[in-house]
Structure 1
Amino acid sequence: MDNALENNLSFIDLFSSSPDGIIITNLDGEILLVNPQAEKMFGYRAEELIRKPVEVLIPQRFTTHPTNREKFAANPQKRIMGEGLDLYGLQQNGTEFSIDISLSFLKTEDSSLISATIRDITERKQVEDEIQKLNEELEDRVNKRTKELQESENRFRSILEDMTELIYRWKPDGTIVFVNEQYAKLFQKTREEFIKINFFSLISSKAAKIIKRRIKTLTPQQPIQTDEYLGTKGDRAGRWYHWTDRGTFDEEGQLIAIQSMGWDITDRKNMEEALKQSEEKYRSVVEDQTEFLVRYLPDTTRTFVNQSYSRHMGRSEDDLIGTRIIDELSKEEQKRFRKKLAKLTPTNPVFTDEFYTISSDDEECWETWTDRGIFNKNGELKEIQAFGQEITQHMLDDREMQLQNAALEASANAIIITDFDGMISWVNPAFSRLTGYMKEEAVGNQPNILKSGQHDEVFYSVLWDTIKSGQVWHNEIINKRKDGSLYTEEITITPVKNQRGEISHFIAVKQDITKRKKNEENLKNQSIAMMNSYNLISSLNQVASKVQTTLDPQQIYKILEYELTQQGINYFVAFLDPEGQDMILKYVAMGSKALKAAEKLAGVSSQGFSIPRKNFPVYEDLVKQKKPQYFKNILPVIEKMLPEFPEVLVKSFARLAGMKQNVSTIYLPLFADEEVIGVLVVWGENIKENDISTFSVFASQVASAIRVSELFKETQVANQAKSEFLSRMSHELRTPMNSILGFAQLMEMSKKDPLSDSQRERTNQVIQGGKHLLSLINEILDLSRIEAGRLEISPEPVQLQSAEREACELIKPLADQKDIQIVIPTEPGENLYILADHQRLKQVCLNLMSNAVKYTRQGGRVTVTHEERPNGYLRILVTDTGNGMSPDQIERIFKPFERLGAETSEVEGVGLGLSISKRLVELMDGKIGVESEVGQGSTFWVELPITNDPLEYLIKKDEEKSLVELPAQIFSILYIEDNPANFELVRQILTEYPQIELLGETRAEIGIEIARQQKPDLIILDMQLPGMNGLDAMRHLKSDKETKAIPVIMHSADANPSKIKELMKLGAEAYLTKPLNIEDFIKLIEKLMKGNVN
């Protein structure tokens, strides 16, 4: 059946509730649709008639019916009730019955149909025939046999009483002489009351005048009249009636009585009115009548237009009449229009078409047109009448409906539609994926095919009571898939009401939450486990925090011994004995129970003891595998560790130390520079294999503390020696330089004993040489500080032109001596900022400009330019007109103490300026390089990150935020940061993303355990944390199988390239420096959420 017809809810409602039978066929006579009244009328069920020829409902003697149907299809003129004579229908049992029929031609988007409205008039025909017969008898005998007439009238009255029609008999003056029971009920009176009432008092004065005027037209030759009236009083108000009035005349032809028979045709009139209204809205479905009317000649000259068409065209009627339609069409449309006109014939006089146009107010517009040719008697086309209407809204609605259907089909949630009784009428693909039932299997069934047996009948009773009362039902429900597996879904069922406000359908939207429910249960269990782990971590953190606050190894051992004992943890820690020959481990610290047992049974004191390598195979495994070992039973290990002790003593030691048969043990290696330097052993009844991670963190902290304390002592000695050396060197060099420069300046300034010209020149050479030597001393000290890592760099937004001008001012006197022109950018550069250390940037610019001036010939030029790079960096170029360099020289130019061409050049220096510049640029996260050709001069360049104006750098406007469409599922982020301000900044940034769940922790140890338990989608890790630092935390995260796959972003104020390289090598997704660049941070988070990170 045509989709547009089926989707027309108004039509379907009228079709189903019509008191008349309605049958819709195609042009070949195949039955497509049958309403309930037609089923009842012919004795068939609808499914028995669908696709059958309509001739099965017509007696065989009407052999011309197919021909008549074909003629109607060729010339579909609407036929109304009463135009067909002596028509009969054929019931399934073979019974013929009288019918009246109206025919309509339906035109839809993709087919042409015929609608037949059928009324069973068997009873009415019998009544009319009987009345006719009785009236004839009355007329023949009225003057002859009054008695017989009376009997006939009585019989007539009896018949009338049994009829359902409205019947009354009255005289021309309005006196009522008879009414049947149905008529009396209509006016809510008894028949006896009617005899006293004048007919004209029952109706309005206007209606009375019309009826009086009409009965005067009744004659013996034309005794019958029919009409339709709209009631205006009482219960009749607003109801329509069809009346047939038959006059009774005397021998002289005088009207003596009128007999009226009526039917309540309100339903039919309502249907016709509804159809009429429906036709206005859905003309393309019901018939070809539309809103616009145009008449035109075969050459397309307009002869008539209506006002609707005139308004639609935006032109007056006079302006349109006389113009040709074809002149307003494109060449392609003209060709198509002429073809359609050429096909019009008297037997095929109609064609339809749709047009897309731009209306007079420049809006897109769709129109549909039905053109009917008007032919003369000779079959010549004289004129064409066209009916059209705008269907723009219909087309837009169709487009919107297609989009909505596509959205429902593509929905990730399962959607199911049922009728009021719960019969499934539609499901989307997500339903099939969720339940395993294909659409064909689900449609026609009820949702109880998904019942799991997990809910009682009260549950389902409440569900149905809720939705059938018109309320939305939302809950969680356990259902069963086709394969028998259970799943949990979150379901929302919404009632859908029809135009009468009655619930006709239910729509259920389902989301599979099985995984979420399982995760919630796991999370609940994990929370309990986490609390236990947290308590353990807290205890160990208290110990670790105290261990890491001291740099004295002996003090660390004492803290371990005291604090772990206070925490009630059974343990011992042992390290390599650096002086031992065949002894491997030396006792360092032991828990209270173990220590007491050792003192009592083995004579072990707090000074410790050693264990031979062969007696501690676990240690050998730790050295080889470099990972913790877990044992469910500690006794066999202890027995191998103490072979020289009697078995009784070993077991007593174990018993006193709390090492029972069921006690578990973890052996954890202690690392220093990737080498195992010792072991941490913990044991107890509550020790589980999952605790390895927690104790590994603690073991790492203990080892780091020991290692740091030892290295600190070594570093202190080395740094002190280096500092003393640099101090001595500075002192030893500066002391004689003080005398040299001081006395040379006194000699130059002396007025008492003025110097000769030659002496003054020589003295000036001494002063200049001294100053040069002093600058070389400063450069050497700078290089020493850089190599020692003691030179502090403070990156900040620096205005580039300001730094360049300062450097230019300092180098200008040297350039003026050689008549060298220095050209720096003159365009406005106040808003050009780079991220650098202001003082060190000026030093680099000064070194590059100074070198350029030194190696440029007399009268040459040094040019400074800028160039933006695609990677967000700015390149600063310093170009000279010197001699240039060979490729071999370029390779060595940035090495310390390299003075290229020193043997042939008079330029002073020791070759440290470019080397220091390179180190400084790299410390500022930049690059430095050179391009040169012999004889063509050189261009030295520096690349540093571009940044914003300081104010823009610190303040991000809301409107500058650019959020993209992201996946809707929850994305969890664990941020390990001890600075509350930094955490609050990230929290506020991420509030723009409702799907992000942000977790926070201030300590790396607890953060690692949270990561193991909750498996976040991303970890943001600060470098500087209390206790374990970010680097060690990163190592633990990437070495643990539970967390190694979780992406980690490092966040730190340390922009040291070597540190960044080390962390990226460990597996960091990115390294973000402080202050945080919000735009870059947002882009990185969005890429991670979409699983697309470079």
Structure 2
Amino acid sequence: MSKKPLNSLLSVDYATPTEDCITERRRQVALPITGALQNAIFNSANFSSIATDAKGVIQIFNVGAECMLGYTAAEVMNKITPADISDPQEVIARAKALSLELGTPITPGFEALVFKASRGIEDIYELTYFRKDGSRFPAVVSVTALRDAQDAIIGYLLIGTDNTARKQVEAEQKKLNQRLRDQQFYTRSLIESNIDAIITTDPCGIITDINKQMEALTDCTRDELIGTPFKNYFTDPDRAEAAIKLVLSEKKVTNYELTARTRDGKKTVVSYNATVFYDQDRTLQGVFAAARDITESKRLDQELQETNVALKNAKFVAEKANLAKSNFLSSMSHELRSPLNAILGFAQLMDTDSPPATPSQKESIDQILHAGWYLLELINEILDLAVIESGKLLLSEESVSLAEVMLECQAMIGPQGKKHGIKLTFPQFDNSYFVRADRTRLKQVLINLLSNAIKYNQPEGTVIVDCAATPERTRISIRDTGAGLPLEKLTQLFQPFNRLGQENSAEEGTGIGLVMSKRLVELMGGVIGVESTVGMGSVFWFELASDTEPYLSMEGEDAAALAEPHVLRGTRLHTLLYVEDNPANLKLVEQIIARYPDIRLMSAVNGNSGIEIARSSQPNVILMDINLPGINGFEALKILHLDPTTTHIPVIAISANAIPLDVERGMKAGFFRYITKPIRVNEFMEALDLALEFAREHSDDDT
């Protein structure tokens, strides 16, 4: 306001207001409004307003400050500075920072809080305030210097807002950003650590991302690959482009073969596996693909195919050689047996000729006979081994009584033991021991082991046969008192033609028996072994699966059929021949036939004797076991069919070989029916009735 003379101020023009009067009136009208605004500002609880004098002592402490800091205005006004309610460490740090920034020393304390404002520099900073209760909170503080009419600083105004919420938001955002970075790093690590080349493309087949393996596969950098067509890096671009189109249409592609190519022409066969991927709105983004190097796999596959071809050829050659060997052995058997038959026949005639031969002639004849019989044994064992190794040996596994087999073996081997002065001890069976085995082959194994125990024993020695059984396995042991075998010879056992140094001994042998025994035991599902001590003797043992005593099926109609007594089939007496080497099986059939007075049962224990009985007795029906000592059931059937005197007799097979292939083979061979063991009475009698009816009809036709 310009200064005027006092008289001018006293003179008043009541007609027209002066300029000063108008201004004064406006000021008086504005004062209430300004006062209301000031009150609203200073009483606002949303921000703190702290005004100080020039030295920093608090002069104004508004309602917002009271709410934020927990002090009343009376507690702080004219008593403390804002520095007293601020974090001292932050105040010290601010003083150091400002000193460096402005190039002048600044004292920690209130000066550090208002120094910039005192120099007319806008100053807004973050600071931690202490509440009265000792708690802390972050605040954003704006500092302004208060000046009088002469522009001298008369105080400072510090306006603060609680920054806790924003800090929390920033902290959460920081965490989210860190999680995002971690997730991106993790995802990238997964992609880079993959052994496959990883590629992503857009729907048009343009590469959008790759991993290091793709760089190695193409010999191109990441920057060179991204933004270029996927198809450019393969020997067949059209096929590569088709791969992208295929996965876009099918949503997934697996094992699609491509050949990658580097800049210098190196080629790598890869297996391409891909799928499409979308964003969170299910909008198609492109193709995610993995290409695995299968060059080595392809090479191995090729080698495997070549190896398989070589194996097939080798197998064919081996089978052909095996067949040739079998044919050769069969032929040689016939060729050797014919002259051998003459040699043995004439030698026996000479041995019984009259007048008798001279002592020297007798000695020569004995040598001829001895060598001839030994040669025949050798031929038979070689042929048996050839049949076993060719896989053509037929086994008829069934429940076999050890007591019966032991008695038969004892009778067969007893004379050999007496001849060598060896005492034989066989087990006394209080309980019935049954094993799952082929009866004929079981006897063959036992006779072979017993024969060896006698031949390689010491004079006046002993052989002890023992048997031990569990519900699962049964072990048969043959212990001798011979010289025993050292460890190095034990490892050579069960080798063909290896007699372990006994070639020049007085005891004859072929070196085949133990090999055959091992093969037969294993074919019957068992194991064989030996324990030996030099000077003490040896124990040869083998184990087979334990079995139960053979039984008749007695269920339903079978039990009723067996219970019917005195069933007559007309007035004619029917004759039935059963060719069977297992006494237990023979007993079962005897139990059945005993119910039928019009049937007479005859029996034979091997194929040859069965053929002879059939020729002489002309039975109505023949029951034939398949696996017989000497010739088997198939060979016996063939002889019977070729003989005019027996060709009309129906032959029913009874065998433990019960798989469908066995039954089919038996029917094709010409058996009238094929009955499997264990025998079911109803099935057995039905087959027998049909066979008797067949025999009657053919007998009527003949008459």
TM-score by length of 1: 0.24
- Structure with max Cα Rg: 2
TM-score by length of 2: 0.35
Q: For CA contacts below 8 A with separation 6 or more, give which structure has more relative contact order.
A: 2
